[in-house]
Structure 1
C-alpha cells in the first residue's frame, strides 16, 4: 500500500508565540484546536524536540512534499535561520528531498521564532508554521524538520510497550498527550525495529512532573541512547522509503550494499550505510578518525581522544573503530572509562556507541559516563563497530576487547 502522512488530522504545538505572524497563520492554528495535539515538549539540557513513524494514506490525502519542501523565513534571528538550513541539509544529503526558499510557493513552511519549538506533521495546504525558540540547536532543528517531513515520536509507535515503559505518574499532566500511542491502523513503521537512537525519540526525562524518569527502556543498556541529537540510520531509511527515494535506483545497476545499507538516491553507485559502516558498499569502516582492530583471546586496550578546545560545537566529530575476529569467534567489549562532564540524557555532548545488537541497522548501546563500565558487550558476529562521538571539548574513551568462542 502506498503510504503518506495524514497530517491534516495531527498538529504539533507547544506555546509558540504567533502574535507577530499573519492572521491566516493564526487561523490555521485555531483550525486545528480540535485535532490530536502532540506537543514537542521541553527536554532537559539544551535540546527540545522529538518524533517518529509515519501515517498511512488510507484516505487519499497527499501530504508528502512531492516537489520538495518550500519554505520562507518570518524572522531575522541568526540562530533560527542557521539551524533550519543546517537541519534541512542534514535530511537532504541522505535522501532525494530538496528544500527551496520561496516565499511565493503555494504550499510552504513559514519559519518563525517563538517561545517553544513547534511544527505540523507533514505538508498541509497553504502556509504552515515551524517555530523555534532561543535554545534551538542542530539536533532540535533536524528533529522538527522530521515533523515537517512526516514523523511521529518513536515512543508513540503502536509497538512501543514492548520496548519502553512510560511512567505516566512522572509526566507533567499538560504534556501527557506526547506519549499517546498512534494506532497501527493509522501508522506504518516500514518493517523496521524499534530504534531507541532515533532523533525522533524522547529522552528519559522528557516532560517530567517530579524530576523522575518518564521513559524507561526495557533493555536498560539503551537508557542513555534515547534522546539522541544524531540522525539515525532508521530515520534515513524511513524517509527514503516514505518519499519513494529508494525507487530512483535500479536494482540491476545500483550498488550492491552490505550490512543493511541501501543505494544513495542521488548517486546509485554508492550506499548509505548504518552507523559504524562505510565505503561505497558499506563493507568498510567510515573514513577519518579510527582504525581496524584485530581481536584475539588476549585482552587488548584502546584509548581514543576525540575533539579539541573547550567549546560546545554545532556538529559532532566521530572516531570509528571496527573490531574484527576470526570466523566463528565473537568479540567482547568493556568500556573502562569515559571523561567526566558528558553525562546527560541522550549523550547529546559526546560518548561512545557499541554496536553489539543483532540488527546492525539500529542504533547501538550509547554511554557517556561511568555507567557504561558496568556492562559487558558481546557481538553477534566476528565484527563489532565501536563509535566515539563528541561535540564538546575533548573526550577520552578507553575500552578493552578480546575474543570468545
Structure 2
C-alpha cells in the first residue's frame, strides 16, 4: 500500500511538472512581440483622425496632398536630412509631454539605436532649430517620408504604437525610406493576391521608385509588412516567390539590409575621421565593412589612409 502511495505521489509530481512546462511554453509563445506589420495594422485599423491630421497611405505613411499618393516624395523632391562637417547627420526631435517615463524610454531607445549603426544622431530640440521631428501621441502610428521642413509630426499613439520595432519603422520613414513591398523589383520576390485585399486598399501595394541603395529584396526588413496585410477575408495578400514557405514580415527590429541602406543613403562611410578612417562609422555591422574598406581604398579616405 505504501509503495502504491509513493508511486501515486510521484506521478502527480511528474504530471505537475509537465503541466508547468507546458504552461511556460505557451506563455513564452504568447508573449512573443508581434511583428511590426501586425502592430501597425492593429493600431491603425479603426483610426479616426482629427481634422488637423494627414491622410495616410500604405497604412502609416503621411502625405500632404493627393499628388503624393502615387509617388515617393523623397525620390521626386529630395528629402535627406543635412549632414554636418563632422560626418554626422544631426536631427532634432521633440517628445510630447503626455508620454509616461516608461513610454518615453521606449521612444528614446529607438532614437538612440540609430547612432550605434550609422552616422544618424537624433538630439533633443533646441531653440533656434528650424526643422525637427515632433513625436506625438496622435491617432495611430504614422510618419511622413523624409525631411519635410519645419516641425513634422511622427505619431506614436500611446494606444498601440509604443514598441521598439514601430519606433524604428516610423523613424526610417522620416529618414526617407518606404515599405519593402512597394519596391520596383517587388514582383520578382512577392506575389500580391489582389483578390484578397480590402476594398479601396489596393493602392497600398502600388510599386513606386524607392531608395533601395543597391541592396537585395529583404523579407526580414522592418519595413516589410506581413503576409495578411490589408486582407479582407483572412487569406494572404502577399506570398513569397518562388518559395511560398519563406518566412517574411516578422521583423521586430532593423535588419542588416535596413542598416546598410541607411548608411549608403546618408553616405556614412565617406567621412574621414582623424584617427581611424571610415571604419568607425560602421561599428558592429558586418555587411558594412566591405563598403567602408572600399571607401578607404578608392574613395575620399584613401589619401588619409596612406598617411596614417
Q: TM-score over 0.5 for the alignment?
A: yes
Q: Distance in 1 between matches of 2:272 and 2:245?
A: 34
Equivalent runs, 1:313-332 vs 2, <5 Å: none
Q: Give the alignment partner of residue 138 of structure 2, picking from 114, 118, 142.
A: 114
Q: Distance in 2 between matches of 1:75 and 1:219?
A: 48
Q: In the superposition, relative to structure 1, how do residues 108 and 214 fare at CA in structure 2: closer, same or farther (>3 Å)?
A: same
Q: Give the alignment partner of residue 219 of structure 2, picking from 171, 189, 196.
A: 196
Q: Give the alignment partner of residue 76 of structure 1, picking from 98, 106, 111.
A: 98
Equivalent runs, 1:198-213 vs 2, <5 Å: 198-213=221-236
- In structure 2, the partner of 1:166 is 192
| 1:96 and 2:119 are equivalent in the alignment | yes
Q: CA deviation at 1:87?
A: 1.3
Q: CA deviation at 1:17?
A: 4.1
- Relative contact order (alpha carbons < 8 A, sep ≥ 6): 1 or 2 greater? 2
Q: Distance in 2 between matches of 1:18 and 1:145?
A: 22
Kindly name which structure, 1 or 2, has the bigger radius of gyration based on alpha carbons. 2
- In structure 1, the partner of 2:34 is none
Equivalent residues, number:
229
Q: Give the alignment partner of residue 130 of structure 1, picking from 150, 154, 159.
A: 154
RMSD of aligned Cα (Å): 3.3
Q: Give the alignment partner of residue 286 of structure 2, picking from 250, 273, 280.
A: 273
Q: Answer yes or no: is the 8 Å Cα contact 2:79–2:146 preserved in 1.
A: no
TM-score by length of structure 1 reads 0.50
Q: In the superposition, relative to structure 1, how do residues 123 and 16 fare at CA in structure 2: closer, same or farther (>3 Å)?
A: farther
- Give unmatched runs, 5+ long, in structure 2: 1-43, 56-61, 84-88, 294-308
Q: Deviations over 1:177-227 (max 9, x none)?
A: 2211003xxx34222111111111011111211111111011436632323
- In structure 2, the partner of 1:34 is 66
Q: Answer yes or no: is the 8 Å Cα contact 1:16–1:131 preserved in 2.
A: no
- Give unmatched runs, 5+ long, in structure 1: 1-13, 20-25, 39-52, 256-262, 282-405
Q: In the superposition, relative to structure 1, how do residues 198 and 27 fare at CA in structure 2: closer, same or farther (>3 Å)?
A: closer
Q: Deviations over 1:116-168 (max 9, x none)?
A: 11100011011110111221211111111110111110010001000001112
Q: Distance in 2 between matches of 1:116 and 1:199?
A: 18
Q: Answer yes or no: is the 8 Å Cα contact 1:63–1:124 preserved in 2.
A: no
Q: CA deviation at 1:16?
A: 6.8
Structure ranking higher in strand proportion: 1
TM-score by length of structure 2 reads 0.65
Q: Answer yes or no: is the 8 Å Cα contact 1:204–1:226 preserved in 2.
A: yes
Q: CA deviation at 1:230?
A: 2.3
Q: In the superposition, relative to structure 1, how do residues 229 and 37 fare at CA in structure 2: closer, same or farther (>3 Å)?
A: farther
Q: Answer yes or no: is the 8 Å Cα contact 1:17–1:115 preserved in 2.
A: yes
Q: In the superposition, relative to structure 1, how do residues 219 and 80 fare at CA in structure 2: closer, same or farther (>3 Å)?
A: farther
- In structure 1, the partner of 2:258 is 235
Q: In the superposition, relative to structure 1, how do residues 144 and 188 fare at CA in structure 2: closer, same or farther (>3 Å)?
A: closer
Structure ranking higher in helix proportion: 2
Q: In the superposition, relative to structure 1, how do residues 223 and 18 fare at CA in structure 2: closer, same or farther (>3 Å)?
A: farther
SS at match of 1:165: strand
